[in-house]
């Protein structure tokens, strides 16, 4: 398995570090305080490769709270809060787009 830290990061805009919570698989984001939160608006947002690498390195060390950490793009909304930067991240954040799927808030 290639460690995410061995991959060269190419950052073209604001990004966050995201992963899945170990116990239940829920989508979580790395916060400024070095914790994991299910809320994207609590995520630490960085815009440079060194900052993203540092954020990811700290996240990967914590192998027990969350798994599969990686850098994901975000857009900054009109209210200044981060929003998912692509469809995959939108679905991870908001859940399936299937109208009739039985989903509940995590």
Q: What residues make contact with other proteins under the rule CB under 8 A?
A: 1, 20, 22-27, 63-64, 67-68, 86-88, 91-92, 95-104, 106
CB of 78 to other proteins, least distance (A): 21
Select 32 or 91, whichever has its Cβ closest to other proteins: 91
DSSP per position, 36-62:
EES-GGGB--B-SHHHHHHHHHHHHH-
CB of 3 to other proteins, least distance (A): 9
Select 25 or 77, whichever has its Cβ closest to other proteins: 25
Find out whether 34 and 28 touch, Cβ atoms under 8 Å.
no
CB of 64 to other proteins, least distance (A): 4
- Looking at the DSSP bridge assignments, the partners of residue 72 are 16
CB of 71 to other proteins, least distance (A): 16
Which secondary-structure segment (H or E) carries 73?
Answer: strand 66-76
Select 79 or 105, whichever has its Cβ closest to other proteins: 105
State how far the Cα of 54 lies from the Cα of 38, in Å rounded to an integer: 20
Helix (H, G, I), strand (E, B) or coil at 84: strand
């Amino acid at each position: 398995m290639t460690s995410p830290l061995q991959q060269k990061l190419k950052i073209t805009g604001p990004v966050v570090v995201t992963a899945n919570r170990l116990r239940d698989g829920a989508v979580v984001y790395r916060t400024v305080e070095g914790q994991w939160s299910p809320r994207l608006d609590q995520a630490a947002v960085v815009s440079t490769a060194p900052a993203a690498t540092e954020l990811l390195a700290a996240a990967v060390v914590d192998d027990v709270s969350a798994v599969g950490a990686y850098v994901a793009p975000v857009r900054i909304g009109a209210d200044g809060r981060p929003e998912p930067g692509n469809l995959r991240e939108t679905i991870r954040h908001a859940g399936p787009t299937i109208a009739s799927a039985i989903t509940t808030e995590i």
